[in-house]
Chain A
Amino acid sequence: MLQLKKIYKWVNNGNHRIFLLKDIHLDVNEGEFISIMGPSGSGKSTLLNVIGMLDGFDEGEYHFSGTSVHQLKEKQRASLYKQYIGFVFQAYHLIDELTVYENIETPLLYQNIKGSERKAMVADILDRFNIVAKKDLFPAQLSGGQQQLVGIARALIAKPKLLLADEPTGNLNSKQGEEIMELFRQLNKEGMTIIQVTHSEKNAAYGNRIVNLLDGMISNA
């Protein structure tokens, strides 16, 4: 599904060049559930952002579903990830001023989907995640686990092929965390490709492959 080849990313600090990512090779096949692990500052989130096309890189090649991402312009890249990728964040990142319903609907607004169709899609996912009763509440009125549920629902609403999650349970208690991980496992079983960043061995075990990162380099594969 996607392939990273010799990816380098760095920042210049005076005369020094500090590498954030160094010589990254990674192949991800459809249906995989990958956990990226590593200590703080090892480049986990950076790698996830590069995969998610939120961040660029300085050297190397990135192929996504047969498209060479490194050769695309900003706009084309945006439309590519809009279509294929969903994001889940540690801090949920819901828009405070929008209700649950509206938060979930937001990605659809940017894909020019008609109102009636949007309604059906949002209703569908609310139902599936069992949060129909919460649809008119604002994020501040929800618990952390519920917020993350909304965050995942929002990530999935546009039916992406790849779900990227940056420490999705980092702000949750263990019970809430387990529920989210169970949900991920379920999604993966249904065929969704998932890449998550995590600190927890336990969460990593939900996946079927672990990528260890140290100082911007993959230490095993």
Chain B
Amino acid sequence: MFKNYIKIAYRNIRKNKLFSAINILGLSLGITTCFIIIMYVQDELSYDKFNKNADDIVRVVFRADINGGKINESVVMAPVAQTMKKDFPEVQDATRILNYGSSKILYQDKVFKDTRFAFADPNLFSIFTLPMIEGDAKTALLQPHTVVITQSTAKKYFGEEGSLGKMLNVFVGKTAAFKDSFELYKVTGVIKDIPVNSHFHFDMFGSMIGYADATSDSWMSGGYHTYLLLKPGTNLRKTEAGFLAMVKKYMGPQIQQQMGLNLEQFTGKGNSLAFMLQPLTDIHLHSDTNNEFEPGGNAMYAYIFAGVAAFMLIVACINFINLSTAGASKRAKEVGVRKVAGSNRSQLIKQFLSESILITLLALIIAFVWVQLALPVFNSISDKQLGFNAKTAIAFIGLGLIVGITAGIYPALYLSSFKPAAVLKGKLTANHKSFGLRSSLVVFQFFVSVSLIIGTIVVYQQMKYIQTKDLGYNKEQLITIPNSYALGKNEQVFKQQMLQDPRIVSATTSWYKPAGPSNYNNGLAFPQGNDKQIVSGVDYHIDEQYIPTMGMQMISGRNFSKDFATDSSAIILNETAARALGWNALTAIGKTVIRQNSDKGDNFPFHVIGVIKNFNFRSLHETISPLYMTLQPEGGLIFKIKTTDVAGLLATMKRQWDSYKTEESFEYNFMDDLFNNTYATEQKTGTILNIFSILTIFVACLGLFGLATYTAEQRTKEIGIRKVLGASVTQITQMLSKEFVKLVLIASAIAFPVAWWAMSKWLQSFAYRINISWWVFITAGSAALLIALITVSVQAIKAATANPVKNLRTE
């Protein structure tokens, strides 16, 4: 019986080559995208779940609102871990990681510069599942100056030799005379490489024991990622509530001592501070805190992708449903004969389902090839390492079966419902119902297509807007050299040397960049005589050349100048800061600003010499906050260059740099690259959305093409009669296309408000954004209409130009 099903399914597929090809192509595209996205989303959701205790591990984060400045830190102070373990029974254990960055490490005569180093408490391995393959996990980090390394690091450092007991020199800082200073660490363990889907990846964990700051009792500052192992079933909100008493007990006295306020007075001024708990498995997708080890994922984009992929698959399934029901008259006789031959309905349903599953399996095979081809591309766009394994292969086949049944069930029910007495006489009744369904499904397909086109245009426009927006500075032709501090005294020599080069326009000494990843110092300031009006802003330390080099504009007053000795205590405000302090650009000049936590001491007075035009120094997702600029050049160089011979200039720079014989190699960034990197996620999303919408429209059009073919076939006789009666080719083509045009118009009418709503929501995540203009909708609608029209009219014209006599004779 089953063999018979397969046989007839196979013969039907071969007989209707065009429709089978449309179905298989559409389904395979749908399965390919859907599967890749499932892998992507699954990967995003799997972060840190490899830890056996994943559900009971939380991270402590610090959230505060101090004088209007919001603080959201993924790091907390040194004593938090031990205090929580001691004071809260539900905390079973606590461990800390201190990110030490990429440190320079020496082994014998070899120098390694890109080893990611962290200090960790000895119990790290009992909380996180990081299996140790050499050494003892319990004791490895108990002694000071011990280090545990990963398997691949061991291989890189020691090759095939054993790792235990090897001695490494770890860079710990510069001496006063700019000499590197190292400490000796002994390797006491080797762990397996940390899984890709972990929110941290270190190559080495040095023992926190012996690291002086780790035992500090300061509740005022610290940089420790702190993780708790909780008793299963702990209510996080309840535990967080308990932290209030802890804050009062330990932090309160230190606030009193440093600020002269007790905790009540402090919070009474509208300030707040709290420790919160973040489930380990939420960190990758949902964390909003600063100082993460690595940039996290974005839940919104994961959801968008998942939604779009699901739509894509539905569009492909719709093709199958539409083509099967439209072609029902071809199968009607068979159904009738089989029923007369004694088949019952469920047997027919099974037969048609095996047919749809067979088609899906063929699509699956093609999709498999496509997934293989597309994965490398997708991986490079999305920065992932997705691939097939046993588990995903099963999921892949499962997906195929689900698609086969989803696509096949309605046609199976519909086809198997035919009454034999009626269909064998050639009367196919109830076709109107399925025509209505087909129309609604086509509307849905084009609703998805039009929405995606609108989405793609809006994303593109917003990206374009970001590229070309007047940022308040000129990001073009700027080279930054972030590690020039490594040159020490030669930094200024290097700068002067380079300034002689005609290819360089100007240079400034500053570490502060308005684009790319930066840590900002928060500055607190108030206008003299009004200490209630504290304004929290970003602190920029610059030199006299900074503003002209960056192409920033003064609105009033003047730039820093060597001509004024008093400029060391001068300050330039941005427009927002001037307004926040209660002035405007003109009245601000000459006023005095008291900086609470300046580098020159607490409550140091600065006199305002100028107001600078607002410039975007954060991502365009955020509005421009107050900014203070003071004259205090520090490490890092920025050059404004001419566009001629950039490669040659860079070579010259490198040569010059190397002549100082510093350990650090010459590194540079272009400011516009740094700027663009900020929007990498949005760019990625735009690209993927673009691919999706093209594919979706393609699949929808495949279906439309099939439907148009059927319509033309079924109306052959009508077309023949009309032509005999004098209808022109144009009139016939119009008649056949009209129906589909109507459907696309309806789909657009539904898509417009929905897409407008969705894209407005997305745009709201940008503080600086475009308005969606009406022509976006017109463009998207017309594009869909045009594509649909071309698709349909190919068939319509073919039917209309056929010889009517021939058509009528076949009847």
Contact = CB atoms under 8 A, between A and B. Distances in A.
Interface stretch (B140-148, B329-337, B690-698): B329-337
Nearest to A54: B421
B218 to A, nearest CB: 82
Contacts of A106: 4, 337-338, 341
A55 interface: yes
A78 B421 contact: no
B11 interface: yes
A29 interface: no
Nearest to A82: B342
B334 A110 contact: no
A95 interface: yes
Given A54-B421, A55-B421, A109-B1, A97 B341 contact: no
Interface in B392-427: 419-421, 424-425
Interface string A84-124: 00010101011111100010001101110000000000000
Contacts of B234: none
Contact of A93 (B347, B419, B424): B424
B15 interface: yes
B216 to A, nearest CB: 82
A50 to B, nearest CB: 9
B8 A98 contact: yes
A111 B12 CA distance: 24
Contacts, number: 54
A110 B4 contact: no
B346 to A, nearest CB: 10
Nearest to A138: B11
Given A95-B337, A95-B338, A110 B343 contact: yes
A22 interface: no
Contacts of B425: 45
Interface string A54-86: 110000000000000000000100100110000
A3 interface: no
Contacts of B343: 109-110
B430 to A, nearest CB: 16
A44 interface: no
Contacts of A54: 340, 419-421
B341 A107 contact: yes
B421 A154 contact: no
A21 interface: no
Contacts of B12: 97
Most buried by B among A49, A93, A94, A111: A93
A49 B420 CA distance: 10
B4 A109 contact: yes
A195 interface: no
Interface in B443-463: none
B336 A93 contact: yes
Given A54-B420, A109-B1, A109-B4, A97 B344 contact: no
A158 interface: yes
Nearest to B330: A96
A107 B342 contact: yes
A100 B420 CA distance: 21
Nearest to A103: B337
A165 B343 CA distance: 19
A110 B421 contact: no
B341 A110 contact: yes
A20 to B, nearest CB: 12
Contacts of B342: 78, 81-82, 107, 110-111, 158
A93 B333 contact: yes
Given A78-B344, A111-B342, A97 B11 contact: yes
Given A95-B338, A97-B12, A98-B8, A89 B424 contact: yes
Contact of B344 (A75, A102, A158): A75
Interface string B5-26: 0011001100100000000000
B337 A93 contact: yes
Nearest to B14: A97
B179 to A, nearest CB: 87
Contacts of A93: 333, 336-337, 340, 424
B8 A97 contact: yes
Nearest to B9: A97
A87 B340 contact: yes
Contacts of A96: 334
Nearest to B3: A115
B347 A110 contact: yes
Interface string A195-217: 00000000000000000000000
Interface string A128-162: 00000000000000000000000000100010000
Most buried by A among B1, B7, B8, B342: B342
A36 to B, nearest CB: 16
A94 B337 CA distance: 7
Contacts of A89: 424
A19 to B, nearest CB: 17
A84 to B, nearest CB: 11
Contacts of B15: 97
A195 B394 CA distance: 56
Contacts of B1: 109
A175 B344 CA distance: 37
Most buried by A among B7, B333, B340, B343: B340
B393 to A, nearest CB: 33
Contacts of B7: 102
Contacts of A97: 8, 11-12, 15, 334
A91 to B, nearest CB: 8
B44 to A, nearest CB: 46
A75 B338 CA distance: 15
Contacts of B8: 95, 97-98
A45 B427 CA distance: 14
Contacts of A82: 342
Nearest to B335: A95
A158 to B, nearest CB: 7
Contacts of A102: 4, 7
Contacts of B337: 93-95, 106
Given A93-B333, A97-B11, A154 B341 contact: yes
A171 B419 CA distance: 23
A109 B8 CA distance: 13
B347 A95 contact: no
Interface in B674-690: none
Interface in A159-175: none
Contacts of A98: 8, 11
Contacts of B338: 95, 106, 110
A87 B337 CA distance: 9
A150 B183 CA distance: 95
Nearest to A91: B424
A110 B344 contact: yes
A23 B120 CA distance: 97
A110 to B, nearest CB: 4
A104 to B, nearest CB: 10
List 10 A-B pairs, minimum CB-CB distance, nearest first.
A82-B342, A110-B342, A107-B341, A54-B421, A97-B11, A55-B421, A49-B421, A110-B343, A106-B341, A93-B337
18 contacts: A54-B340, A54-B420, A75-B344, A81-B342, A82-B342, A89-B424, A93-B333, A93-B336, A95-B337, A95-B338, A97-B15, A98-B11, A102-B7, A106-B341, A109-B4, A110-B342, A110-B343, A110-B344
Interface of B: 1, 4, 7-8, 11-12, 15, 333-334, 336-338, 340-344, 347, 419-421, 424-425
Given A91-B424, A106-B337, A107-B342, 13 more contacts: A45-B425, A49-B421, A54-B340, A78-B344, A82-B342, A93-B333, A93-B424, A97-B8, A97-B15, A97-B334, A107-B341, A110-B341, A158-B342
